[in-house]
Structure 1
Amino acid sequence: MTKQHANWSPYDNNGGSCVAIAGANYCVIAADTRMSTGYSILTRDYSKICKLADKAVLASSGFQADVKALQKHLAAKHLTYQHQHNKQMSCPAMAQLLSNTLYYKRFFPYYAFNVLGGLDSEGKGCVFTYDAVGSYERVGYSSQGSGSTLIIPFLDNQLKSPSPLLLPAQDAVTPLSEAEAIDLVKTCFASATERDIYTGDRLEIVVLNADGTRYEYMELRKD
């Protein structure tokens, strides 16, 4: 094995981290803006978040050519849906479309790891987490990217998600208020930035609630 292959990482094309948290009446989606390859930073101001519909926001980590191709495909499908049904897709409908799209490409998959967040038909926050070939699950919170191995244990500790084996099934939303969820996301990224060289520079936060969509930003470490 060559040195190049020995040092290969699945996040060489674009590392970084994506996080989403669902609440009773909101959803918070966040990602850093660093794009890097190996030990080189290509840009410090690249958004990993794409708004697919009024109530559905996608955050992706992975190979950016595939991420852009996936976003373009979803946008085209959503436009067709709007012409046929005269309305926008709900977040659960977009989640199913994304799953179908990834599964269709399972033999030559998009090199993209996605978290979809938004509001469902009842106005509740919803988060869907994916693997590369379309398997997905509705959860209260999730993270993808090179910093996810640092962030998920922290979120587990803070939010203590109910086991899916519990009966009766518990609601997959977190008990935090919107402001608390935003603060928790900021804490996650401040911590991950200290320990993951692919995460940093700037944090972009998208908040969806009944009032619409709001953007917030926070500076992160730049080294």
Structure 2
Amino acid sequence: MSADWKVRFTPEPPGPKAGSRPSADCTASARPAARGARGRSSARTGPRSRQVPVRADSTPPPPPHRGAGLRPRTVLAIAGEDFSIVASDTRLSEGYSIHTRDSPKCYKLTDKTVIGCSGFHGDCLTLTKIIEARLKMYKHSNNKTMTTGAIAAMLSTILYSRRFFPYYVYNIIGGLDEEGKGAVYSFDPVGSYQRDSFKAGGSASAMLQPLLDNQVGFKNMQNVEHVPLSLDRAMRLVKDVFVSAAERDVYTGDALRICIVTKEGIREETVPLRKD
């Protein structure tokens, strides 16, 4: 066998393993000495990095908190023996900015039904317009007003029809049922709902819901008489929990809008909250 044949089949040294980075010497030797027509030398051995000039007097913007632009607002509802209360704050904020201090989230649907919307403000307005249009069509077709339970079922179908591109809205409906008793219905964005005695939603729901569980549902309490919740006590409780939430939640404040639903109709009350 000739020497040329032996040299031709001499095994090459093993290369780098799969997944390992080549050494700096291999990288430098593999690159051309000149780049383009300008003939600049390429002596860098590490990965190229892009440097963005930053002004010395510029400061980076604060990071978005929990999804800027989709800030849920705080909504609460309580059902009593012959009344329902739906309350919300009036602050509308995005990130660390307050757009308006007078934007209530409670919308009157009928003389016995109020809806509270927590979530993206544009979807809240769109959804309430759709509900109001459906209620007008129902009244013209049947010559009567839709009941609170029927409105809850209708809202469930509306939300479920948009389940593949849902509204970013958490809804709470409060009102009186056909027997004149208080009723509260809570929804998720895709239409699942249930009837509750009390419910809180929005940015401060983690603080409001435990208070309602304890004071209205009498949970984690022993040797306490479960007396029916009166309207006066419910009003005091709603004011107290929102004052506490405004102290801890930066997205809750400015004012508290309370809608009281009774057999006489719906009346509203506004309570100031802290504005910082």
Task: Settle same-fold status: TM greater than 0.5.
Answer: yes
Give yes or no for contact 1:11–1:63 (8 Å, CA) kept in 2: no
Contact 1:16 1:200 in 2 (8 A): no
Deviation readout 1:37-77 (Å, 9 max, x if unpaired): 00000000111111111111001111111111101111111
Selected match of 1:207 from 245, 250, 260 = 260
Separation (CA, whole Å) in 2 of partners of 1:69 and 1:89: 20
CA distance in 1, matches of 2:72, 2:245: 12
Aligned match of 2:76: 19
CA-CA distance at 1:187 after TM superposition: 0.7
1:161 Cα offset (Å): 6.2
Give the aligned partner of residue 192 of structure 2: 135
- Name the residue aligned to 1:191: 244
SS of 1:192's equivalent?
helix
Letter in 1 for 2:233: E
Determine if the alignment matches structure 1 residue 79 to structure 2 residue 79: no
Residues 185, 194 of structure 2: 8 Å contact kept: yes
Give ranges in structure 1 of 5+ residues lacking alignment: 163-173
TM-score (norm: length of structure 2): 0.73
Q: Of the candidates 219, 234, 249, which is equivalent to residue 181 of structure 1? A: 234
Pairing 1:42-191 to 2, within 5 Å after superposition: 42-160=99-217, 175-191=228-244
* RMSD of equivalent CA atoms: 1.7
Residue number in structure 2 paired with 1:39: 96
Letter of the 1:57 partner, please give it.
Answer: V
Q: Distance in 2 between matches of 1:123 and 1:7?
A: 45
Query: Taking CA–CA contacts closer than 8 Å with sequence separation of 6 or more, which of the two structures ends up with the larger relative contact order?
Result: 1
Cα distance between partner residues in 2 of 1:20 and 1:148: 11
> What corresponds to 2:6 in structure 1?
none
User: Separation in 1 of the partners of 2:264 and 2:204?
Assistant: 31
Q: Is the 8 A contact 1:10 1:62 kept in 2?
A: no
The number of aligned residues is 209
Distance 1:103 1:11, change over 3 A: farther
SS of residue paired to 1:190: helix
**1 CA distance for matches of 2:64 and 2:259?**
34
Percent identity, aligned pairs only, is 46
1:222 equivalent in structure 2: 275
Between the aligned partners of 2:147 and 2:89, the Cα distance in structure 1 is: 26
1:199 is paired with a residue of what secondary structure?
Answer: coil
TM-score normalised according to structure 1 size: 0.89
| Cα distance between partner residues in 2 of 1:11 and 1:183 | 32
CA distance in 1, matches of 2:273, 2:73: 12
Deviates more, 1:174-183 or 1:140-149: 174-183
Q: Is the 8 A contact 1:29 1:59 kept in 2?
A: yes
Are the structure 2 counterparts of residues 75 and 26 from structure 1 closer, same or farther at C-alpha, using a change threshold of 3 Å? same
* Structure 2 residue runs without a partner (length 5+): 1-59, 220-226
Asked if the contact 1:13–1:36 (Cα under 8 Å) also holds between the matched residues in 2, the reply is no
Paired letter, 1:120: D
In our comparison, the structure showing a higher alpha carbon Rg is: 2
**1-side partners of 2:160 and 2:241: how far apart?**
30
Q: Distance in 1 between matches of 2:176 and 2:101?
A: 30
Distance 2:143 2:68 in 1: 39
